[in-house]
Homo-oligomer: A and B are copies of this chain.
Amino acid sequence: MTSASQFSSSAHPLDEALVLQSTSTVGQYEGATHPGYWNMVGPFGGITAATLLQAVMQHPDRLGEPLSLTVNYAGALAAGPFTVQAVPVRTNRSTQHWTLSILQADAEGVPVVTTTATAVTAVRRETWSVGDVPMPVVPPPSEHKALVVPGGAVEWLNRYEMRPIAGFIPRTWDGSGDHSLTQLWMRDVPERPLDFCALTALADVFFPRVWLRRARQVPAGTVSITVYFHASAAQLQETGTGYLLGQARGQEFRNGFFDQTAQLWNEAGTMLATSHQIVYYKE
């Protein structure tokens, strides 16, 4: 069992949040929610996704690097310990398929599935490569002011530096929204070298598209997110503590659910990941 308090203050909050203790069962890990990534009624979805990927990264039988990750938020995690299960259900020559889940004891102590996921890892070779969605031409991070997180905001917002470029949270909630495109520079706070888990969490940083589209703050929550990883570990290492350009857009808002498509580039213009999610909204 782990809690934030047992870590030294020198550890990065992301590394604290991602600590998973191995158990006697291979692929089963014990973790705990981290107060630094708390959202409204549970952890920030990005940290939950990153935690599932962390279980894959730590697994002794892992083949290759992350290629895709899909996380389904079946129920909110309560503050406290949880169990992660990571099973490599099929290992091919160069790809490996994973099924994952998070379980947490309910009020009666019965383990309940809060999160399901699948992942694919792959050994990649250098091939012909090209990007068909070039990074938008925008002024560098230094020319955009960092968002000042207001007091009373959800805690996880303090774990990220966000420098809005276009389409950020409306200043007035007057129902005047007319698009759903957001661009921002972003990175971990404090600065932390990028890796696959950090990148996964960053793919979920965007506030709900419906807020922007409607200029109205309705309840909303991710139901399922997918991240496709285009970068190698070496490319993430080269990115280091630099900013990522994140771009997100809604495609369709229909009867309680909208989808979001997102792209993440590093400052050098390399596409690191693309991501999609389907999100519940009320009213």
Q: Which A residues are closer than 8 A to B by beta carbons?
A: 67-68, 70, 72, 74-75, 89-90, 92, 95, 97, 99, 101, 112-114, 116-118, 120, 122, 124-133, 179-180, 213-214, 223-224, 226, 228, 230-232, 249-257, 259, 261, 263, 271, 274, 276, 278, 280-283
A118 to chain B: which residues have CB within 8 Å? Answer: 70, 72, 116-118, 224
A251 to chain B: which residues have CB within 8 Å? Answer: 131-133, 263, 271, 274
Question: A213 is contacted by which of B132, B228, B282 (Cβ under 8 Å)?
Answer: B132
A99 to chain B: which residues have CB within 8 Å? Answer: 99, 116
Contact call B67/A92, Cβ cutoff below 8 A: no
A133 to chain B: which residues have CB within 8 Å? Answer: 251-252
Shortest C-beta distance, A221 to chain B (Å), equals: 10
Separation of A207 and B84 alpha carbons in the complex (Å): 37
Contact call B122/A257, Cβ cutoff below 8 A: yes
Contact call A276/B132, Cβ cutoff below 8 A: no
Separation of A75 and B249 alpha carbons in the complex (Å): 33
A131 to chain B: which residues have CB within 8 Å? Answer: 251-254
Question: A97 is contacted by which of B67, B74, B276 (Cβ under 8 Å)?
Answer: B74
- What 6 A-B pairs are tightest by C-beta distance, nearest first? A74-B90, A74-B97, A70-B70, A124-B255, A252-B271, A129-B254
Given contacts A223-B95, A223-B120, are A256 and B125 in contact (CB under 8 A)? yes
A95 to chain B: which residues have CB within 8 Å? Answer: 74, 223, 280
Question: What copy number does this chain have within its complex?
Answer: 2
Given contacts A90-B75, A179-B132, are A276 and B226 in contact (CB under 8 A)? yes
Can you list 19 pairs linking A and B with CB atoms under 8 Å apart? A72-B97, A72-B118, A72-B120, A89-B116, A90-B112, A116-B118, A122-B256, A122-B257, A127-B282, A130-B213, A132-B179, A132-B213, A133-B251, A230-B252, A232-B255, A251-B263, A259-B274, A274-B276, A276-B276
Question: A281 is contacted by which of B127, B214, B257 (Cβ under 8 Å)?
Answer: B127
Separation of A253 and B213 alpha carbons in the complex (Å): 31
A253 to chain B: which residues have CB within 8 Å? Answer: 128-132
Question: Would you call the interface of chain A mostly helix, strand, loop, or mixed?
Answer: strand
Shortest C-beta distance, A183 to chain B (Å), equals: 15
Separation of A130 and B112 alpha carbons in the complex (Å): 35
A75 to chain B: which residues have CB within 8 Å? Answer: 90, 92
Separation of A114 and B92 alpha carbons in the complex (Å): 11
A226 to chain B: which residues have CB within 8 Å? Answer: 70, 224, 226, 276
A129 to chain B: which residues have CB within 8 Å? Answer: 253-255
Separation of A283 and B274 alpha carbons in the complex (Å): 22
Separation of A282 and B67 alpha carbons in the complex (Å): 16
Contact call B74/A259, Cβ cutoff below 8 A: no
